[in-house]
Amino acid sequence: MSGHSKWSSIKHKKGAADAKRGQLFSKLSRAITVAAKEGGGDPSANATLTTAIQKAKDNSMPKDNIERAIAKGAGGGEGEVYETVIYEGYGPNGVAVLVEAMTDNRNRTAADVRNIFNRTSGKLGETGTVAWIFERKGSVVVDVATADEDTLMTVALEAGAEDVTQDEQIYEIVTDPADFMAVRQALEAAGIVFTSAELAMLPKTTVQLEMSDAKKMLRLIDALEECEDVQEVHANFDISEEILEALA
């Protein structure tokens, strides 16, 4: 299981994301607007928009904000023109880092991302440097304390999940992107509560980090996530539960 999934789960439970909710809503609105502009404002005919809306709902974004973001994109009027840009690089101990940004100014965003890597023990690489390490999958994280293992396994696999892995504190259900919503809906129907559910770039291999490098790695991840133009950060680090709890 990727360290970033565990770290996100721990931050979610501790409520660490609340202080950044305003910035998060801005990012979520941007993703909805771009999805609506590129594929239309009808979620039933636009899977990307459906996923963006669901992520906004998961983060308690108000319904009015979501509707305004859809209308802004579907209207196709004047305003900012955003594009998706991928940055690739390395963190401490050779950890692969993949950054998804949505920007109206490539030069500004590239400079911001490069500066973050440089000041947090990382290194920005060229296109293709680490992308091959990741593959897009659906990922649902469930707290071990809230779910029965047999029920979870049965519901997830019957709904089309590819795999279910268990760590000390969480289960991670991995799906093909096309089956993600069906698995998510099956879990909800079964009353299984999850701490996060998203489409993500999951690593094929991971790098185990000890305390010193773990601290540097999480500082890099947090700095990237705080960048206004950055939508998602993916990395192939793994960190023990003890170290994660200590750093949280």
Q: What is the pTM of this model?
A: 0.84
Residue 16's pLDDT band, with cuts at 50, 70 and 90, is low
Note the pLDDT tens digit of each residue in 66-98: 999 999 888 865 666 788 899 999 999 999 999
Paired tokens of 22? 């305003």
Query: Residue 44: is its pLDDT beyond 70?
Result: yes
The token pair that represents 19 in the structure block: 């202080």
β-bridge pairing 83-90 and 123-124 = antiparallel
Secondary structure class of 15 (helix, strand, coil):
coil
Q: How far apart are CA 42 and CA 46, in angstroms?
A: 6
Q: Which amino acid is at 13?
A: K
* Tokens matching residue 4: 């970033």
Q: Is 83-132+205-247 the same fold as 3-75?
A: no
Q: In what order do the strands lie in the sheet with 134-143?
A: 163-166, 170-175, 134-143, 196-203
Q: How wide is the angle at C-alpha 232 spanned by C-alphas 235 and 136, nearest 5°?
A: 65
Q: What are phi and psi of 15, to 5 degrees?
A: 70, 20
**Mean pLDDT across 12-40:** 77
Q: What are 148-206's pLDDT values in tens digits?
A: 999 999 999 999 999 998 887 889 999 999 999 899 999 999 999 988 888 889 999 99
* Residues linked to residue 103 through DSSP beta bridges, in sequence order: 83
CA-based R_g, the chain, Å: 18
Fold category of 133-203 in CATH: Alpha-Beta Plaits (3.30.70)
The maximal CA–CA distance of the chain, rounded, in angstroms, is 52
Q: Is-contact 224 20, C-beta < 8 A?
A: no
Per-domain residue ranges of the chain = 3-75, 83-132+205-247, 133-203
Alpha carbon 191 to chain centroid, angstroms: 23
DSSP helix/strand/coil, 79: coil
Q: Cα separation of 156 and 136, whole Å? A: 18
Give the dihedral of Cα atoms 188, 23, 172, 125; nearest 10 deg: 150
114/8 Cα distance (integer angstroms) = 23
Return d(Cα 171, Cα 106) in angstroms, integer. Answer: 37
Topology of 3-75 in CATH?
Arc Repressor Mutant, subunit A (1.10.10)
- pLDDT tens by residue, 192-244: 998 888 888 999 999 999 999 999 999 999 899 889 999 989 999 988 888 88
Superfamily of 83-132+205-247 according to CATH = YebC, transcriptional regulation domain (3.30.70.980)
